[in-house]
Amino acid sequence: MSSSGRSAIVALGLLTSVPAYAASDADLAEIRKQIDVLNQRRLEDAARIKDLEDRLAKAETSAKTATDAAARATTTAQAAAQAASAPPPAPPSSANAFNPAISGVLDGKLGGFSKNPNTYALAGFPLGGEGPGPRGVFLGEAELNAQANVDDLFMGSLTFSLGQDGPNTEVGLEEAFIQTLSLPGGFQATAGKFLSDIGYLNSFHDHADDFADRPLAYRAFLAGGLKDIGVRLTWLAPTTTYLRFGAEVMRGEEFPGAGAANNGFGAKSAYVRAGDDIGAEISYQAGLSWLWTDAAGRETGAGPDVFDGKTDVGIAHLVVKWAPNGNPVNRNFKFQAEVLRNHIDGAFNGLVVDRTDYGAYGQLVYQFKPQWRVGYRFDWMDAGNVPVALAGTTLDAQGHNATRSTAMLEYDHSEFSRLRLQYSYDRSRLFGADHQVLLQYTATIGAHPAHSY
């Protein structure tokens, strides 16, 4: 075969093979297209699966939370049912049984007197020890107190007083008592050594007073304030008006009693207090108290004078407080007054005596700025008549009615510190007036118990 023939045959073969190659490329394109479609579907399916998985996880979490809540509710209900059916538990320990509120009160004074305070005498009255204090710088009565709830039934309070008598330090037991917390029916009981609740001022410690010293009537009839060992029962009436009744039985070792007469029941008291609000700005408290004591060999003065017999003291008090809009922080006003009647019946230095004395005071205190207060107090005393045989003794006032006018200015830097300047025109002695100036500081350390109205 010639070369031209062979070339024609090759050309013919090439022509016949072209359609085959074209068909194969179309198939590949189709396959690629279907692969792309499947890949797109796979991505879409993966997204749907992820969404379904997320929704499933959320649903399972919500179901578990609901199950846990139901389980906790069931547990709580079962515990409540068990607690309701169980016998009462033993009294729990107080949260502060081993962490009582401990406080200290520091009191210091600078005294200036125109008459010698060492010769002080209150005309017509034997004193149980309280006087105006010495000249110069001196310490008042410091106080250490610890107080805490013992358990759910009782609280306890312990207070020591520290005083300076010349170079000697005197430590005294001011209070040591327990008091109920949850007696039914509005009752409360107190047992131990405590400040009596008679009158208004007696139940306060000296550092809580509005003036640097006690009124003359308290000095004459209660030696500044009655505290004794005994028991007290009070009842708070279930009324909208504050109404409180109380009674005390004490040993009778403290002035005006002495010697724990009547087998250790030498003093008794009873009182009632009432109070209420008058509108939003005014409140008041009024009260009547009576104290009966027996004295066996009570000694007073340097002599000493000795009294054996009975003393009863009646006290009426009224306290009125005002604060604008009921808020005492910036401004407030307080009026306070007490009238005391003292009757003695017995033997004074072996001579019969039966007489009635009277004393009273009234005071006004005005806080005109948050840290500043001013005050005025007037004291008055009337000693009863004495038999001729006792003329010239301590009981003989020789017709003199003791009086005293006192003004004070006070700065309270905080609830824990106070400075007070006080001036008194004192005519409690038989002859002449005594001009008395006291500069006092008081500082409180620690958590001191709150004082009442």
Q: Tens of pLDDT along 194-240?
A: 999 999 999 999 999 999 999 999 999 999 999 999 999 999 999 99
Beta strands in 73-141 (DSSP E): 101-113, 136-139
pTM: 0.77
What average pLDDT does range 326-344 have in this prediction?
96
Q: What digits encode the pLDDT tens for the residues 274-303? A: 999 999 999 999 999 999 999 999 999 888
Placement of tokens 């003004």 in the chain: 407
* pLDDT over 80 (residue 34): no
The dotted CATH code for 101-446 is 2.40.160.10
Beta bridge partners of 231: 191, 249
Q: What digits encode the pLDDT tens for the residues 374-422? A: 999 999 999 999 989 999 999 999 999 999 999 999 999 998 999 999 9
Please name the residues in contact with 196: beta carbons below 8 A apart, sequence gap of 6 or more. 202, 203, 226, 227, 228, 248, 250, 269, 291
Residue 233: in which H helix or E strand, if any? strand 227-236
Instruction: Spell out the domain ranges in the chain.
Output: 22-86, 101-446
Helix spans in 147-284 (H): 216-222, 261-264
